[in-house]
Amino acid sequence: MDLVRLVDTVFDPQSVLDTPIGHYLLIAATLISLVGWLLSRKNTELRKMMAVGVGGGVATLAILLLTHLYPAGPMPPGAMA
């Protein structure tokens, strides 16, 4: 395996989430960011960075949840009528 393909595989977020423990890693990273946010002082740069980490993790988890709940994607207009 060449180095470029290895780096692309390691740094590709989709390939990480496709692994059996990818979702658990994302949840752990979100929880670590949340604990860091809770333990940091107010109005510091660290707290702002942790808030961005928590927001990104929660947004990614919400997208994953929606793709598992609705694998076919959004319903076409007028399909419920």
Q: Residue ranges per domain, the chain?
A: 23-71
pLDDT in tens, 16-70: 667 778 788 888 889 999 999 999 999 999 899 999 989 988 988 888 888 888 8
pTM exceeding 0.75: no
DSSP string computed for 13-76: HHHHHTSTTHHHHHHHHHHHHHHHHHHSPTT-HHHHHHHHHHHHHHHHHHHHHHHHH-TT-SPP
**Cβ atoms of 20 and 3 closer than 8 Å:** no
